């Protein structure tokens, strides 16, 4: 379980650090926050090579849900751009 704890700490630390940095730099777009969060979550999951296949399969639905959220944000941004025109 040590590897699980390290994985959770890595993801949590990265996400929270990026939230602080984005807020400090004056970012107000929630889509940007979310995009950075999911990129970090995906990257850390891939970097943890030694997670066993059962764990990767369990994390797959979470990745799918995050991806669906990203596609929804993308769709809303495209809609916003078209309405602005």
Partner 1 sequence: MRGKNRYEVTGASLLLSGLLLSLAGFLVFSIEWLTALGIAMLIMGAILVALSRTVPTVSPEVCSLLLETGLENIAAIIEELGITSRAIYLPSSMTGGRPQALLPLQLNGHVPDISRKLPQRLIVQSGPAHDDIGLLVSTVGTAAFGLLDNRPGPGPAELDSALTYLLSGVLGIADRTWISYSGRNVTIEIASPRIRQRANWAHQFIGEPLASIAATMTAEALGKPVVIEKEGQVKGRYVVVLGVQDGHL
Reading the block at residue 18, the tokens are: 């990026």
Residue 11 Cβ vs partner 1, minimum distance, rounded to whole Å = 6
**Of the two residues 76 and 85, which places its CB atom closer to partner 1 in the complex?**
76
Closest CA to 10 of 52, 44, 56: 44
Q: Whole-number minimum distance, CB 79 to partner 1, in Å? A: 18
Torsion sign (Cα): 71, 31, 7, 5: negative
Question: Shortest gap between Cβ of 85 and partner 1 (angstroms)?
Answer: 25
Q: How far is CA 56 from CA 15, 34, 73, 75, in A?
A: 20, 22, 25, 28
Contacting residues toward partner 1, per CB under 8 A: 1-4, 7-8, 11-12, 15-16, 19, 22-23, 27-30, 33-34, 37-38, 41, 49-55, 58-59, 61-62, 65-66
């Amino acid at each position: 379980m040590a590897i699980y704890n390290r994985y959770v700490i890595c993801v949590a630390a990265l996400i929270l650090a990026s939230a602080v940095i984005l807020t400090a730099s004056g970012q107000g777009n929630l889509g940007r926050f979310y995009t950075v969060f999911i990129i970090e979550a995906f990257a850390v999951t891939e970097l943890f090579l030694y997670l066993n296949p059962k764990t990767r399969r369990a994390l797959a639905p979470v990745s799918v849900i995050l991806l669906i959220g990203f596609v929804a944000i993308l769709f809303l941004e495209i809609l916003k751009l078209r309405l602005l025109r």
